[in-house]
Amino acid sequence: MTNLIDTRLGQYHITEIIRRGGMSMVYKAYQDSLDRFVAVKVLSSHRDPQFAARFKREARAIAALQHHNILPVYDFGEQGDLLFLVLQYVENGTSLADMLGQPMRPGTALRLTSHVLDALDYAHKRGVIHRDIKPANVLMPSPSWPMLADFGIAKLMNDNQQRLTLANQIIGTAAYMAPEQATGRAIDARTDLYAAGVVLYELVTGRVPFDSDTPMAVLTKHVYDPPPPASSLNPDLSPMIEALLDRALAKEPAARFQTAAEMSAELSRTATLLDQQQQQSRSRMTGLYEVGLEAFQQGRYDEAVERLGKVVAFDPDYEDAHELLDAARDARERAKLEAKQHIEQLNQASPAPAAAPAPDKPKPVGLATIRLPRIDEPTPAQPVAQPAQPVAQPAQPVAQPAQPAAPATRPLDDRPGPLPAAQPDPPTAPAQPAARGRGVLVAWLIAGAVIAALVIALVVLLRDRGAGRVPAGAQIVVQAAAARPRGP
């Protein structure tokens, strides 16, 4: 086809090429009268007057389609052997074909296809069948706004017996062709629905259901082979979407959706159900994200990495979770490195531990030297009933009665008065724990012996009093008590 850049078609000044095709070429052009840019689709050269007449009829029918998902036709014309359509210019020049390559989110794919089906339903009700549904014919003014283009062009080419003779065009459309269209049988609106099903399959899996080296091999697969399960290419697909695809890609038109409105409604319903499931899962993931955030803030980096990893695995587009997961991984590695360095510094700089000081040795408890009479020791015969004893003579000193020879140590009953306290032992060096324990044990044994001796002395005293005898020591105590001066 002749290059038309810097030429004019009617009132349209051609400025650049937008897209090349087997049957046509699309240019960007400037319309002086309305001061705007438009898209001009120029068909292949022709010399058939009947074809030109059919083109004009189709152009008028297409221009009558006014739907927000159909690319508007502004004008059409003929110049020499060239026929052209004037269409709305889409500023960014993006088509659905530019969004392929990776599986699309199921909800997005369902809604985009549903919008295309809305456009088809509008056209079908007005007797217009598209015949060439494919991603390249779906323009995208915005990511969520598809506009279907090229209505009726395929019919013109078929009627002119040019479509199946242009091998490069078959290569471009064979992947989306319904079995009845591939075999030359009668077509209707359900043929467009099959092609829309192929587009949906490609959006959710990233590839078309049938592919081969030649267009005829692809057409043969459309006629005879079942499409590979979409879940085999995208395991995350819902069974609901697989059921939709199975019905849309049925070999027989009677087994497919019967109208574009029916298929669009089913796709919208499925998208809503998936959104509800997604929202429930997102709520759970939000809770999991918050747990991961709390773990990160508290320094529990292993837990944070585990929780956030589950969030991004479920929702790869959760940007906050991705960022926090990266931060948690970095913090975990830094914490491990810092702990390792700290341990190494301690091992290099820590001195040997000092020996614990020995506990002080307790001082021994001082004990009085006590002598107790034996039970069988005789006591001096001192009858209690003699009134002429020093008890009746208060002037006589208490300390002058005849006393037996004093023993080497002061006995308990030798004379009244306080016992001298035993002098404490000189301080000794601190004992070891074992020696300290032995000292305490000895002190307790001595104290027990003293208590036992006192008990024995008390028993002897009580016995002698019962027999009429009072030991000398006790008698002295009685005399001293009698000799104590009394008040008036």
Cβ partners under 8 Å of residue 351, min gap 6 = none
pLDDT at 59 over 60: yes
Write down the pLDDT at residue 173.
Answer: 83
Chain centre to alpha carbon of residue 256: 43
Which pLDDT band, with edges at 50, 70 and 90, does 380 fall under?
low
**pTM beyond cutoff 0.75:** no
Tens of pLDDT, residue by residue over 260-285, are: 999 999 999 999 999 898 888 878 88
Write down the pLDDT at residue 387.
Answer: 47
pLDDT at 444 over 90: no
Q: What percent of the chain has pLDDT over 70?
A: 70
Cβ partners under 8 Å of residue 436, min gap 6 = 359, 361, 362
pLDDT top residue among 102 and 223: 223
Least confident span in 5-14, 252-261, 301-310, 386-395: 386-395
Tokens for 90, please give them. 């889409």
pLDDT at 162 over 50: no
Catalytic residue among 132, 150, 192, 413: 132
| Average predicted confidence (pLDDT) for the chain | 80
pLDDT at 372 over 70: no
Tens of pLDDT, residue by residue over 163-215, are: 433 444 443 489 999 999 999 899 999 999 999 999 999 999 999 999 999 99
Residue 35 is a catalytic residue: no
479 neighbors 398 (Cβ within 8 angstroms)? yes
Write down the pLDDT at residue 166.
Answer: 41
Write down the pLDDT at residue 438.
Answer: 67
Tens of pLDDT, residue by residue over 327-351, are: 999 999 999 998 888 888 888 876 6
Residue recorded with tokens 């078929």: 158
d(CA 58, CA 69): 19
- The whole-number average pLDDT for the span 131-148 is 93
pLDDT at 127 over 80: yes
Residue recorded with tokens 């004992």: 431
d(CA 136, CA 98): 8
pLDDT at 442 over 90: no
